[in-house]
A and B are shown apart, each in its own frame.
Chain A
Amino acid sequence: MPEPRDELDNWLNVQVKPLLPPPGTFERVSGQARRRRIRRAVLSAAGALAVAAVVAVVIPEVTTPAHETGRPASAARVSPAPAASPQHPTPETSSPARIPTPTGRPAPAASSVPAASSTVPPPLSVTFVGTSTGWVMGQALPAGQCNLTAAPHCVVLRRTDTADTGAASWRTVGAPPAHGPSGPSGVTQVRFLNLSDGWAFGPDLWATHDGGQSWTRIDTGGLRVTALEARGGRVFAVWARCTGKGPAFASHCTHFSVYSSSADADAWARTPFTSSRLGLPHVPSAASLVLTGTSVYLLLPGGHLFAGPLTGASLQLVVTASPAAAPCQPGPAQPSGQPSGALLAAGGTDLVLMCTGPPAGGGQRKTICTSRDGGQNWHRTGTAPSPGTASSLAESPSGTLVLATSAGIDVSADGGATWTAARGARPAGGFAYVGMTTATQGVAIPADPSRRAVWFTHDGGSTWTASRVGT
């Protein structure tokens, strides 16, 4: 006779055998759901009519004191503009609304909140177009205030046009009326493709086409934008369904999609996957997006790599030599939205993947793999220094690898075979982001934003110096 314990465990441990849906099930189910939504809407509209009749009587009594004191009946708080525009995939909705943002400091909010730009904003993200013009996005209020959904917009954008002199001077320009990342709303990253077209994202998505003077909020239908890159006249973004709370907006994400638009228009459309994604695990994880001169690459949870042309046409699963997956998986998201387990980078046509091990003793294993055929074959080319945990990997146009870690910045000029620690002051906690604008110039964000500075290199990553993000 089997032991009861064994019987229970055996029963529980039996794998569930999938039961495929009969043909047409999804269509039938979605049709029934639509009818129920309509029925509920009709009932709710009938209820609203009844409520409106009551409110029409009550409202004058409620608002009278406000008029008596001279205070307008509407709230004084400056709140983020309403979501405008459902874009291309939703043609049934209205066109985008442009939100003019005054050049200079964001409008003050409720009087109890400190002025938004009275201090130098701790930098969250930086982007450069060419060697002399860049933007840094900062959060002007303490994180605790910005993370409140009801907080006024507290994102500040600063621009410099003199970075190539080595003495950047920053000035405040228009920013999207948003707050820092807080679950399903806010922004944390900024990218510009040229002097006109730029985007603020993570998890919301805002676009500007006049250098930041006005911003348009893009409706993502409740999906969160966890990554965005622009190149060659197009912008690509990862839209995901996530449940992460607070600043961890990009955690617990599933169901990743790639949307793209012409850079000078807000015409976002979903990039289809020609390969079936059936069977891919829907594990909460991050995804990585990189663009080369010709292609867009998306690394999904499970290590599945998809590729497509920069035109925005469909993405196909890259068939790899090893069983259907890249050498490692993206793993959980970092606060920036980027993966922590696999850092993907591209310079010219090569792809570079850094696979990280679990953090231990202030460091971690960091293995470099390279592919010269679009991700079909990967070769291990070396290991980066173990001190520090990796946060960001960039490849310059000349092929130099630059790695940001919690211990500093490491540089490899031979594809990852050998590494050198960069010279210059290292902020405590290291760096959260590094990017190479040219073969010689790059920029990095410290992990501790309270440093209120960004770091520049002008010698290909060998030496880094701080530039305060202030006037």
Chain B
Amino acid sequence: MGKFRATDRAAAEDLFNACYPRLAGWVRRLVDDDDTAHEIAAEAFTRLLARWSSLENPQSYLYMIATNLVRDHWRRMGRERRALRAVSAASDSDPVFHPAQDVDVRALIQSLPDRLRQPFLLYHYAGFPIRDVAVMLGRPEGTVKADLYQARSRLRAALGESRA
């Protein structure tokens, strides 16, 4: 086990102080709930500090963890929503469901496949340059650019459909 030295702790605290507010704010924008945002941001930092000595770019790692935790949260919420709808469909003789009303940008982003959602979040939300996103995801820069283009095209098309 790599020791967590005093220098590491100081650097970790610096990183925490500098990055937590923005990371938590970024997560809140995606999950629309302060408590969940704190929970995800804190968990991301816990995982980061648990592997601190072996990381070259902690900030990138932090946002990658948060992106995955947000994805897990969305999946969990999706399952709960589906379960609630199933329950209400069984008990309610006149279920009212307006997909168009549920459609907003956040929901559309949730619906993107992982391959497109990850670069989209890291580039447009976390503000990493394309080069860094490419390194974080292990993809060529050209592929990341193409993924971003495709993600935006899909979102625009979906927004157009939802407003039609």
Contact = CB atoms under 8 A, between A and B. Distances in A.
Given A18-B21, A18-B24, A19-B25, A4 B5 contact: no
Nearest to A21: B20
B87 interface: no
Interface in A264-300: 270, 277-278, 280, 282
Contact of A90 (B7, B18, B52): B7
Contacts of A184: 56
Contact of A22 (B7, B38, B157): B38
Given A29-B46, A30-B12, A243-B57, A7 B105 contact: yes
A7 B159 contact: yes
B29 A16 contact: yes
Nearest to A44: B1
Interface in B110-164: 124-125, 152, 155-157, 159-160, 163
Contact of B34 (A18, A19, A257): A19
Interface in B1-25: 1, 3-22, 24-25
A271 to B, nearest CB: 11
Contacts of B163: 1-2, 4
Given A32-B46, A36-B46, A277 B14 contact: yes
Contact of B18 (A37, A222, A282): A282
B24 A19 contact: yes
Interface residues of B, number: 54
A255 interface: yes
Contacts of B1: 37-38, 40-41, 44
Nearest to A241: B11
Nearest to B56: A243
A28 interface: yes
Interface in A13-62: 14, 16-22, 25-26, 28-30, 32-34, 36-38, 40-41, 44
Contacts of A222: 8, 53
B158 to A, nearest CB: 8
Nearest to A4: B159
A37 B29 CA distance: 31
Contacts of B11: 221, 223, 241, 255, 257
B42 interface: yes
B interface SS class = helix
Interface string B27-50: 111000010011001100111111
Contacts, number: 142
Contact of B4 (A8, A17, A28, A34): A34
Contacts of B74: none
Nearest to B126: A16
Nearest to A276: B17
Interface in B59-114: 59, 105
A36 B21 contact: no
Given A29-B45, A282-B19, A220 B7 contact: yes
Contacts of A254: 59
Interface string A219-245: 011110000000000000001010100
A interface residue count range (under 10 / 10 to 19 / 20 to 34 / 35 or more): 35 or more
A18 B22 contact: yes
A20 to B, nearest CB: 5
A93 interface: yes
A4 B160 contact: yes
A68 interface: no
A221 B125 contact: no
Contact of B38 (A8, A19, A270): A19
A48 to B, nearest CB: 11
Contacts of B156: 4-5, 8
Nearest to A278: B17
A12 interface: yes
A97 B34 CA distance: 50
B40 to A, nearest CB: 11
A37 B28 contact: no
Given A19-B34, A25-B42, A278-B17, A90 B6 contact: yes
B7 A20 contact: no
A8 B49 contact: no
B8 to A, nearest CB: 6
A221 B159 contact: no
A452 B6 CA distance: 41
A142 interface: no
A89 interface: yes
Contacts of B45: 26, 29, 33
Interface of B: 1, 3-22, 24-29, 34, 37-38, 41-42, 45-50, 52-53, 56-59, 105, 124-125, 152, 155-157, 159-160, 163
The 10 closest A-B pairs by CB, nearest first: A18-B21, A33-B49, A41-B1, A19-B24, A221-B7, A4-B159, A89-B6, A36-B50, A33-B50, A90-B5
Given A16-B125, A25-B38, A33-B50, 8 more contacts: A19-B24, A25-B20, A30-B9, A32-B46, A40-B50, A92-B3, A255-B14, A257-B7
16 contacts: A4-B156, A8-B105, A17-B25, A19-B24, A20-B24, A21-B16, A21-B42, A26-B20, A30-B9, A30-B49, A33-B52, A40-B1, A184-B56, A222-B53, A278-B18, A280-B18
